[in-house]
Structure 1
Amino acid sequence: MKKILPIVFSIALSMSCSEKDGEVDYALLTDEERIELAKEFTKSTILVDGHMDLPYRMYNTGNTMSGDVYDFINRSDQGNIDYVRAKEGGMDAPFMAIYIPAGYQEKGGAKELADTLIMMVERLVSTWPDRLALAKSPRDIEENFKNGLLSLPMGIENAAAIEDNLENVGYFFDKGIRYMTLTHGKDNLVGDSSYDDTETHGGLSEFGKEVVREMNRLGMIIDVSHITDKTFFDVAEISSAPIVATHSSVRQFTPGFERNVSDEIIKKIAEKDGMVMITFGGSFVDQAYSEKNAENRTHIQAWLEENGLERRDSAAMEYIGNYMADNKPTVHVSKVAEHIDHVVKLVGIDYVGLGSDFDGVGDTLPEGLKDASMYPNLIAELMKLGYSKEDLEKICYKNFFRVWEAVEAVAKK
């Protein structure tokens, strides 16, 4: 595996006389110096992101209907990731989320949609095999990295994809799915969603318990993002393998927001040797941002009702655009670093990673972290907080590889 080039560290040492144990003390460099080192770091170190919604964005462009291949290779002004921006940011393995909206639980077609999204990811790889590759294990990602290929591992978001058939867990594992988020926006057959107040099962359903055991048996990572606290603790009790929140942030910063993980849950995840992959959306990382967003939604809804308009009416779209331009909240990339730092201070450096939710949180992303080209800005913020090169490697990929390999080891038993 490549290391940061010695010349880079020579430059850094000439920038600052700060050095401890033979390593640059990033915290004592200037912001400009840290950014340059962060850029080199991301390009020479494997960088894994636990969750991106690119497949569903591709689906919404209609490419699957027309037969055209989505242009992932060239720079785009749409969405948060393409090949060019991924390479600029040093991203090596963005997990492709096979996202199943909760509506498919009621109208049917969840498995069919999952198959379609998987096919679309596979088609990207078959179209550009000199630049892209699938990945079903840490070894695959390491080999792809050595060969200069961008890995596209896959995970299912919302176990509604397996419908009511336990055998579909194995079906999707064989298709390359390596984690599954148990719920999404509503309770499903597996368990209860943090976005749903119904508490249909009061945690995991009996079927959900079977699903957890089957995922352990196969070596599929259990993703606990989106589930209720009760559901989480059921999973923690039943799973014999480490568990992961692939795209959640810290509830300490957003009190009452169950979608984020509490300190108690973070401790339990660490106890099970799992990890929390911090997500980037503004409402996830900053309470003030979330409250202002809610205030804006309330105002716009009241204005629409008062004027008898729908959101898609031209007059409404103009008003909303102008209003949001004047009232949109902002949050800085440093806030994401604070969430990472909270987990580290609570349970240690071994239990945290990155899970952006790019292409899944719209235009709510922090300043300095708007797309996949901007990971160096986050790395620089962590350097500013005093994180070492070894710490950063753990956050970027080593922690996730450890967990993934542990899940595989449980399956082998």
Structure 2
Amino acid sequence: MPRNGWLLAMPMLLSCAGPGAGVTTTRAASTGSAEDVLRDAPVVDLHLDTPQWLLEQRYDLGEPRRDLGQVSLDSMRRGGVGAAFFVLWHPPERPEAEAHARALALAAAVRAQMARHPADLVMAGSVDELLAARAAGKIAVLLGMEGAEPLHGDLAELERMHALGVRYVGLTWNAHTAFADAGKPDAPRHGGLSPLGRAAVAEMNRLGIAVDVSHLSDASAAQAVAASRAPVLATHSCARALSEHRRNLPDDLVRAIAAGGGVVGVNFHSVFLDAGYAARAAAAEQAHAPEVAALARSLEGADPVERRWAPYLAELRVAHALPRPPLSVLVDHVEHLVKVAGVDHVGLGSDLDGGIVPPDGIESHADLPKLVAALLARGRSPEDVRKLLGGNVVRVLREVERVSRALRADAP
């Protein structure tokens, strides 16, 4: 089933030499329109859930968006996307024993799109390859893993996933795992990271895989930040100070991530951005639950994929029909995180194709010029916005690579 179930309750080269480094371009730094900023600094989106659509809906990125899908080559091009993390995720209603095979199938579906669209997409296993893709006019594809179920508790699988193209791993989704406690209201299982989770962080540091803390409990995330020798990512999270939601980050955790050199990727989901929308979504879920349940019953015996997706799409259509918060709410979260963490420690993790409803005016990457214009109107300099769009993420990825090289060199 698509990731969020019922919405959880509803330009050319980047130079990142040091912790404060921003984006330098081949164009004059004085350009300041939204179009110029996007052209000069390609967007790095930390979190796209598109692989499930590619695998189970036979979605083609070269075709127009359909069935509430949000990501396409056209929209990415129009939004200036230069690189994106496509996420491997295992639905919780499916047996965990299938998680590894599903991760491989999702990765294969992503690679099939690159084979189908070689002029547009290329796998990037390093920052240098990411930048080379941009210089060649292509979109760099990287993989992320959301939830460690595909590892089956075996740290050796991390190396295999790294070879597959995975460049960050979140140790949980919305359920506790053998590695860590998730950010959920249940009683904690480990009190944060388990010993296996700490070992996984160390192995990710060695391999050059970034640690993603977006779905971890506050205790797990804080312990991961402290344990990691490389900067960590919160790939798709918002600010709890502005909207109380368990998936949002408290300010003290935001500061800790920044102190370690990491980045928070701001999520576009209205449920996380705005408590009023979250309440409306929860009420709509309850009101439409009987008809969704009836639809699910009518599909008993049907194809398993149809049984998962038809109720989900029905729920998502209801959610999209609700009044959405304005774009300014998304900008508020960006600005708050910048105030708390500093402009060098915030990025974008849209969560598109993950069952999300973006704020009013944002339907896909094609609408990113509106976000850039809004940030500029708030007084952000073009250089600041370039950092937020991708420069900060590139800096973190470079540091993750540097730490990996150092650890490998120091190994016996």
Matched, 1:280 2:276: no
One-letter identity of the residue aligned with 1:156: M
Q: Among 252, 263, 268, which residue is 1:264 paired with?
A: 252
Mapping 1:60-99, distance limit 5 Å: 60-61=56-57, 63=58, 70-78=59-67, 79-99=69-89
Whole-Å Cα distance in 1 between the matches of residues 216 and 386 of structure 2?
Answer: 29
Per-residue deviation, 1:196: 5.0
Deviations 1:219-253 (A, max 9, x none): 10000011101111221221111111000111112
Whole-Å Cα distance in 2 between the matches of residues 334 and 340 of structure 1?
Answer: 10
Whole-Å Cα distance in 2 between the matches of residues 128 and 221 of structure 1?
Answer: 27
Q: Among 114, 117, 129, which residue is 2:118 paired with?
A: 129
Aligned residues: 371
Deviations 1:4-57 (A, max 9, x none): 866xxxxxxxxxxxxxxx947x7xxxxxxxxxx213321332210000001011
Q: Among 47, 55, 60, which residue is 1:59 paired with?
A: 55
Instruction: Tell me which protein shows more helix as a share of its residues.
Output: 1
SS of aligned partner of 1:246:
strand
One-letter identity of the residue aligned with 2:365: A
Matched, 1:174 2:163: yes
* Structure 1 unaligned blocks of 5 or more: 7-21, 27-36, 64-69
Matched, 1:252 2:241: yes
Matched, 1:223 2:216: no
Return the TM-score normalized by structure 2.
Answer: 0.84
Deviations 1:300-353 (A, max 9, x none): 33x659xx9456669xx9xx88x9489713112221111110011112101000
Distance 1:326 1:388, change over 3 A: closer
Deviations 1:346-396 (A, max 9, x none): 12101000000000034x211111111111111111011111111011111
Mapping 1:182-193, distance limit 5 Å: 182-193=171-182
Higher-RCO chain (CA-CA 8 Å, sequence separation at least 6): 2
Whole-Å Cα distance in 1 between the matches of residues 263 and 396 of structure 2?
Answer: 8
Matched, 1:298 2:291: no
Identity percentage of aligned residues: 29
Distance 1:327 1:157, change over 3 A: closer
SS of aligned partner of 1:178:
strand
Residues 231-240 or 283-292, more deviating: 231-240
One-letter identity of the residue aligned with 1:114: A
Whole-Å Cα distance in 2 between the matches of residues 120 and 406 of structure 1?
Answer: 29
Return the TM-score normalized by structure 1.
Answer: 0.84
Whole-Å Cα distance in 2 between the matches of residues 216 and 5 of structure 1?
Answer: 35
Which structure would you say has the larger Rg? 1
* Structure 2 unaligned blocks of 5 or more: 1-10, 13-24, 300-310, 407-412
Query: Over aligned residues, Cα RMSD in angstroms?
Result: 2.5
Contact 2:265 2:346 in 1 (8 A): yes
Distance 1:208 1:340, change over 3 A: same
SS of aligned partner of 2:81:
coil
